[in-house]
Amino acid sequence: MYKKGIYTILSNEPLTASVWRMRLAGDTQYITRPGQFVNIELPGRFLRRPISVCDWDEGSITLIYKVVGEGTADMSRMTAGERLDLLTGLGNGFSTDTAAQRPLLVGGGVGVPPLYNLARRLIAEGRRVSVVLGFNTAAEVFYADEFRALGADVRVATADGSMGTKGFVTDVLPDVEFDYFYACGPLPMLRALCDAAQCDGQLSFEERMGCGFGACMGCSCKTAGGSKRICKEGPVLAKEEVIW
Amino acid sequence: MLDTSVTLSGWRLDNPVIPASGTFGYGREFRDFYDINILGTFSFKGTTLEPRFGNPTPRIAECTAGMINAVGLQNPGLDAVVAHELPHLKTFFRKRVIANISGFSVEEYAACAERLGREEQVGLIEVNVSCPNVRHGGMSFGTDPDHAASVTRAVKAVTDKPIYIKLSPNVTDIVSIARACEDAGADGICLVNTMLGMRIDLRRRRPVIANTMGGFSGAAIFPVALRMVWQVASACKIPVIGCGGVETARDVIEMMMAGATAVEVGAANLRNPYACKEIVESLPAEMERLGIERLSDIIGAAQND
């Protein structure tokens, strides 16, 4: 089920030069799984902006978004007290219903946020969680400490070597023991990860969306299980479903 | 007592508000938001003989006051619609529905019309000769009066259901095409489908849409749609369903004053899933404000001298 409602901005602050964190107060009962997203109406913009949920509790939502266009630039200029119209509870989200004892969470750039609540849940369930975060450069790194504070084993890879391992997230994999993986990030990262990992996993994809709730068929993709809408039957697909 | 009802070829609708094909699926997605029985009816997703995946992504681009889509008639195919979608729809929608059909040949249109024409749940058949997102079909039938007439005759020959032809605005003379459909036996005209448009991604220096062009819809096209509804309604005797950029009850009334008997709402459903519910609920107050007792009285009101 979904909820369309009005949410009040509690805070909106930059984490890096282009990545921002917005906290919103409002009804969160329809958000049921990590990896789901909200769709935000912005004044003067025709389409809503789909943003993954980083974390939530009974009365607030945390979103982390990257300023990539005019809509997200609008968002970055908003301040506490302003109100936004959101659709919440969209998408399937990650399933933690697996036998994995040592799950690995792999995030690339702005693909990192939806893994945060997932890590929190997996750790609360008593699993040993490893997290590998990939960025271009040290100045773009965010949330490594937040994942550490949850109790996860965190490694960082940067393409230029300015923090952590020099290279891509896949260059860190040989150092990590894991029996399952969850990933969100750019397509080449997801593909390289699927090639490198022997075990099963779940991957979160993105696509340009019209509605965000399954009506317009704008974000369809072909999978081994037939056509799926990234907004409705996704954004999370199982590794074996993905057609590269 | 205010009366919002309208009648399309003998089919009485509680109100003229109809979600447009391609923005409402087969109803499933919207029942999670509200009871869709409050609608006049809705026009289901354009259905073809065979299942279709549609075009590659990206299929969506945003514009000022509108959007472009190049979905390309993704649908599960005629058999699946009859076997699964219509029976499922029946479990939560007690009204009859508009069956929107599309095709790549006159025979395909006829096959879809014949099969869906046998369904009691179908109130009328809307023949999409105006999809801009497929090659060798769709819009190519709707941009030429002779082709539009031959599709009209073919579907009329195989079903007793009312046939409404959904026309494209991407033509030089909408009236000649509407007249050709009327002369060929069409029971009504629905217009307009989307306008052909495109956007370019400045960073990539490439079209945003994978298929380069797509159909532009949304509030921005309302004045163009209204103008075409006016032209067709004044030239034809058969009823017109107005469509294009409608977002509010006032837009519905404006379309009707231009000559529309009923009004379809498209892109607005995608930005606000409650758009049609809000329109239906605000119609009576808007009628009261404008001194309208019977909504059907204002059809073509602006055309009267």
Q: Mean pLDDT lowest for which of A228-237, B83-92, B139-148, B290-299?
A: B139-148
Pairs of residues, one from chain A and one from chain B, whose beta carbons lie less than 8 Å apart: 94
Contact A46 B62 (CB under 8 A): yes
Q: Stretch B202-222: mean pLDDT, rounded?
A: 97
Dist CA B244 CA B220 (whole Å) = 9
Dist CA A62 CA A26 (whole Å) = 11
Has residue B134 been placed in a domain?
Answer: yes
Instruction: Spell out the alpha helix ranges (H) of chain A.
Output: 70-76, 114-124, 144-150, 187-196
Give the residue numbers in A contacting B (CB under 8 Å), as ranges: 1-2, 4, 41, 45-48, 71, 87, 207-211, 213-222, 227, 232
Q: Count up the domains in chain B and report the number.
A: 1
Q: What chain B residue is nearest to A231 in terms of C-alpha separation?
A: B29
**CB B66, CB B216: distance < 8 Å:** yes
* DSSP states of B241-288: EEESS--SHHHHHHHHHHT-SEEEE-THHHH-TTHHHHHHHHHHHHHH
Q: Which of the residues of B are catalytic?
A: 131
Closest CA to B84 of B43, B136, B32, B25: B25
Q: Stretch B189-213: mean pLDDT, rounded?
A: 97
Tell me the CATH number for domain A103-206.
3.40.50.80
Residues of chain B contacting residue A70, judged by C-beta atoms under 8 Å apart = none
Model confidence pLDDT, tens digit, residues A53-68:
999 999 999 999 999 9
Chain centre distance of CA B89 = 19
For residue B140, pLDDT over 80 is answered with: no
3-state percent helix, strand, coil for chain B, nearest multiple of 5? 35, 20, 45
Q: Residue B222 sits in a domain of what CATH number?
A: 3.20.20.70
For residue B189, pLDDT over 70 is answered with: yes
Residue with the bigger pLDDT between B234 and A175: it is B234
Best interface-test mutation with A: which of B33, B42, B73 has the largest number of A CBs within 10 A? Answer: B33
| 3-state SS assignment for residue A18 | coil
- Whether chain A has a CB inside 8 Å of the CB on B185: the answer is no
Residues of chain B contacting residue A47, judged by C-beta atoms under 8 Å apart = 60, 62, 67, 270-271
For residue A108, pLDDT over 80 is answered with: yes
Dist CA B188 CA B177 (whole Å) = 12
The parent domain of residue B280 ranges over 6-298
Residues of chain A contacting residue B64, judged by C-beta atoms under 8 Å apart = 46
CB nearest to B29's CB, from A4, A208, A214 = A214
- Sketch the domain layout of chain A as residue ranges: 3-90, 103-206
Contact B53 A2 (CB under 8 A): no
Contact B57 A4 (CB under 8 A): no
- Whether chain A has a CB inside 8 Å of the CB on B71: the answer is yes
**How many CB atoms neighbour CB A230 within 10 A?**
26
| End-to-end Cα spacing for chain B | 28
Model confidence pLDDT, tens digit, residues B102-129:
999 999 999 999 999 999 999 999 999 9
Closest CA to B214 of A231, A216, A10, A214: A216
Q: Which of residues 217-256 of B touch A (CB under 8 A)?
A: 218-219
Dist CA B170 CA B144 (whole Å) = 11
Cα angle: B108, vertex A222, A169; to 5 degrees:
165
Residues of chain A contacting residue B33, judged by C-beta atoms under 8 Å apart = 2, 4
Has residue B304 been placed in a domain?
Answer: no
Model confidence pLDDT, tens digit, residues A145-154:
999 999 999 9
Sole residue written with tokens 């220096």: B205
Task: Select A3-90's CATH number: 2.40.30.10, 2.120.10.30, 3.30.930.10, 3.40.47.10.
Answer: 2.40.30.10
Q: What is the structure's pLDDT at B136?
A: 65
Distance from CA of A29 to the nearest CA of B (A): 15
Distance from CA of B6 to the nearest CA of A (A): 27
Has residue B305 been placed in a domain?
Answer: no
Angle between helices B222-235 and B249-258 (to 10 degrees): 30
Contact A218 B69 (CB under 8 A): yes
Has residue B235 been placed in a domain?
Answer: yes
